[in-house]
A and B are shown apart, each in its own frame.
Chain A
């Protein structure tokens, strides 16, 4: 039985800069990393295997759709302790939005054999959509639990998990297989180990192209993506707030009233 983790390679967000003329991401010299939320999914997969391996034989598998260089993200996951890695990569996938990505990933996952759960980070730090996990669940027509902060129980055919809500959490029980998206409260991801690194360097990574999966070509990549990006831009800089000291109380109140009036709020 497999535990599958879907990951995405993203630019290290502390470095993200946008070219003001072309409105595209400046990628030169920016480190590529595993989407930080996906690290929790990887860690949880390894922990679930450790928890379950006495009763079920589990293989953990990490899969990503992306350009050939996304292989380094897969090797990083292997170095943390994931057993196998699959790279879904083809020029035909370029320009995929979240719908086309979920569709392609789903078809790739269908070729991988039986699985218990498919884990995702709650969202990617570059696109921030949080749509691909639920998209895969929909395409596969299996249940999904999003924003999971704790997996209370997991057996061969059932899972009980806590879903983080704005105030408190829900306890949800679901049959398996299911899609789980996780939040950072769920665990503390481990660092890669020396042995893991050495193993990961030599590991073979399975490659899947559009020819290996049962897809309608017109539903792939840019052509298969219903989302149209009209414009990307850096948000305008926010003016810093004003702080009035105690002795400026009168001025402060006048300023607030004036501003509210100007903005036609009252």
Chain B
């Protein structure tokens, strides 16, 4: 075990992408194997020392930022085992392995892990704790949908091996004899039926696995994870379709989704969106964006049967035509080099915004809400209307397939309060439409004050009850999700 105490050295553990600056802790523990890891968790817990579990600091909401006590970093727990038998491939990784690590391990075996958060240096443990997702979530769901088993270290040093079926709630409760002689009762709220990363998962007869995934380290430590992997597709096609009107882009997405429910060949893995201002920002670096484009949709499709390629391209072109897209200007990539070019293009937007943000041109707030499919048009109309009314600069982009947008409100110094009000209003609107306040970034420390919008005070009290069942002293990732 490596133990670091020098503040100058450990201060890097007090940061992530949330912008929270007042993190602090006395020491950082870096276990080098599971035995050390379990031991230190138990010891610290006995001594009443708060423990903040730390990944690589790519989080957006301050989940890994400590305020006191100790940090437990998973950086040395990064073993990856890929077992291949005739039937399937099993990918078991320790918490500190990163997305990059598993990508390279998988590619050697011709498989891939179908969740693709943008930050590839993120650790699998942290991404599991956060129920992270990415553009492919449209087809494959989030981390929660792609985890087969976890090892979960509890406060008393017991490691529970949890699969979908090993620990199931009976109705609303479950007995976990390792932790208490009383049953654990789930929060009784109804979760929004959308892509969601806000608060504890809760459903009748649910699996304990689903509760632990997305609990942001507040219940214990996820030390290792077995992931679902799939055979690598033979080919991937990615297109960017441009439109003269935003409503045409919405129609394109709605029609594509409607086709998915029929026997049609079109079944994209990602549908992403850029609004007019996002395209304007991108135009500063990419002159080939059509001048009069008011919206762009990224369409990504896997091909396992190459003989279907023509059919897919023709269906896509027909769909684009029906929705009045710029037909001669649909960008297409289908080779590794071109796909990489498009990936860089898409990811350049947040960097362009962050660069301006860093140069202090403005203060930035980024929403993370998703709403149900039928509200796609309503929520965009609402955002556009309110933004126009406020006079704030903004860009809207994100995972339109999941009705999940990142509205970036870019406020000048004197506009900050206005931006904060609007930010909250957007969350309230999303929830009123049956959506969530966070679809992928999680709640952490940054967004917990908004959690009552979603679950009410009663829901929060029920979450507290769950928290205290696992962690009666409130030592694990204290300050995430809840104030106790």
Contact = CB atoms under 8 A, between A and B. Distances in A.
Contacts, number: 51
B332 interface: yes
A197 interface: yes
Nearest to B327: A195
A79 interface: yes
B328 A193 contact: yes
A191 interface: yes
Given A191-B341, A193-B328, A31 B287 contact: no
A194 B287 contact: no
Contact of A195 (B288, B328, B342): B328
B329 interface: yes
B332 A192 contact: yes
B233 interface: no
Contact of A192 (B310, B327, B333): B333
DSSP class of B's interface residues: helix, strand, loop or mixed?
Answer: helix
Contact of B332 (A31, A33, A188, A191): A191
A79 B310 contact: no
A193 B239 CA distance: 8
Contacts of A31: 335-337
Interface stretch (B48-56, B69-77, B313-321, B393-401): B313-321
A193 B331 contact: yes
A91 interface: no
Contacts of B176: none
B338 A192 contact: yes
A61 to B, nearest CB: 20
Contact of B286 (A188, A195, A196): A188
B287 A193 contact: no
B333 to A, nearest CB: 6
B330 interface: yes
14 contacts: A31-B337, A188-B286, A190-B288, A190-B331, A191-B288, A191-B341, A193-B328, A194-B239, A194-B331, A194-B332, A195-B330, A197-B332, A198-B314, A198-B317
Given A191-B332, A192-B331, A198 B288 contact: no
Interface residues of A, number: 16
A201 interface: yes
B483 interface: no
Given A12-B337, A201-B310, A194 B316 contact: yes
Interface in A176-215: 188, 190-198, 201
Interface of A: 12, 31, 33, 76, 79, 188, 190-198, 201
Nearest to A189: B288
**Nearest 5 pairs between A and B by C-beta?**
A194-B330, A191-B331, A194-B332, A190-B288, A197-B332
B334 interface: yes
Nearest to B299: A194
A190 B313 CA distance: 19
Nearest to B314: A198
Given A31-B337, A33-B337, A192-B338, A198 B328 contact: no
Nearest to A36: B337
Contacts of B316: 194
A79 B333 CA distance: 10
Contacts of B317: 194-195, 198
Contact of A191 (B310, B336, B338): B338
Contacts of B328: 193, 195
A191 B329 CA distance: 9
Nearest to A187: B287
Contacts of A191: 288, 331-333, 338, 341-342
Contacts of B330: 193-195
Given A31-B336, A192-B338, 17 more contacts: A33-B335, A33-B337, A188-B286, A188-B287, A190-B331, A192-B332, A193-B330, A194-B316, A194-B317, A194-B331, A194-B332, A195-B327, A196-B332, A197-B313, A198-B310, A198-B314, A198-B317
B2 to A, nearest CB: 27
A28 to B, nearest CB: 14
Contacts of B337: 12, 31, 33
A12 B341 CA distance: 13
A191 B317 CA distance: 17
B308 to A, nearest CB: 13
Nearest to A191: B331
Contacts of A76: 335
Contacts of B338: 191-192
A4 B336 CA distance: 27
A231 B136 CA distance: 48
A192 B335 CA distance: 11
Interface in B295-321: 310, 313-314, 316-317, 320
Contacts of B314: 198
Contacts of B334: 197
Nearest to B334: A197
Interface in B17-36: none
A191 B313 CA distance: 16
A129 to B, nearest CB: 23
